[in-house]
Structure 1
Amino acid sequence: MKPNDPKDDLHRYLNAARDALLWKLEGLSEYDSRRPLTPTGTNLLGLVKHLACVELEYFGPTFDRPHDEVLPWIAEDAEPNADMWVPATESREEIVGLYARARAHADATIEALPLDAPGQVAWWGDTGRVTLQRIMLHMTAETNRHAGHADIVRELIDGRAGMRESNSNLGGGDEAWYQEYWTRLETSAKEAQAASG
Structure 2
Amino acid sequence: MDDAKAVLLRYLSTAREALLWKLEGLSEYDVRRPLTATGTNLLGLVKHLACVEAGYLGNVVGRPFPEPMVWDDPDAGDDDLWVRADESREDVLALYARATAHADASVAALPLDATGEVPWWPEERRHPTLHTLLVHVLAEVSRHAGHADVLREGLDGAAGLRRDDDNLTRDGDADRAAYVAVVEEAAAMFR
In structure 1, stretches of 5+ residues that fail to align are none
Aligned counterpart, 1:188? 186
Aligned-partner SS, 1:147: helix
2:44 to 28, 43, 46: 46
Q: 1:24 to 1:74 in 2, by over 3 A?
A: farther
The one-letter code of the counterpart of 1:68 is P
Shift of 1:160: 0.4
Most deviating of 67-76 and 5-14: 67-76
Under a length normalisation based on structure 1, what TM-score does the superposition of the two structures give? 0.92
Select the residue among 127, 145, 148 that pairs with 2:146: 148
1:83 maps to 80
Q: Secondary structure at the match of 1:50?
A: helix
CA distance in 2, matches of 1:4, 1:72: 36
- SS in structure 2 at match of 1:123: coil
Q: Following superposition of structure 1 onto structure 2, how do residues 37-116 of structure 1 map, counting pairs within 5 Å?
A: 37-72=35-70, 75-79=73-77, 81-116=78-113
Q: Which amino acid in structure 1 is aligned with residue 165 of structure 2?
A: N
| Pair 73,66 (structure 1): closer, same or farther in 2 beyond 3 Å | closer
- Give the deviation of 1:180 after TM superposition: 2.0
Q: Separation in 2 of the partners of 1:125 and 1:60? A: 20
After TM superposition, list the pairs within 5 Å mapping 1:128-167 onto structure 2. 128-167=126-165
Q: Could you report, residue by residue, the CA deviation over 1:131-186 in whole angstroms, capped at 9, with x for unpaired residues?
A: 11001101111100000000000001110001111221111121122122212212
Instruction: Give the aligned residue type for 2:104.
Output: D
Q: 1:16: which partner in 2?
A: 14
Deviation at 1:192, TM superposition (A): 2.4
Q: Specify the SS of the correspondent of 1:110.
A: helix
Matches of 2:151 and 2:70 in 1, distance apart? Answer: 26
Counterpart-to-counterpart distance in 2, 1:10 and 1:47: 21
Q: Give the TM-score normalised by structure 2.
A: 0.95
Matched, 1:29 2:27: yes
Note if contact 2:53-2:100 (Cα within 8 Å) is conserved in structure 1.
yes
The percentage of counterpart residues that share the same residue type is 54
Aligned counterparts of 2:21 and 2:176: Cα–Cα separation in 1: 22
- Residue 100 of structure 1 deviates from its aligned partner by 0.2
Q: In 2 relative to 1, CA 52–6 (structure 1 residues): closer, same or farther, beyond 3 Å?
A: same
- The whole-number CA distance in structure 2 between the counterparts of 1:35 and 1:155 is 15
Q: How many Å apart are 1:104 and its aligned residue? A: 0.7
Aligned 8 A contact 2:51 2:70 in 1? no
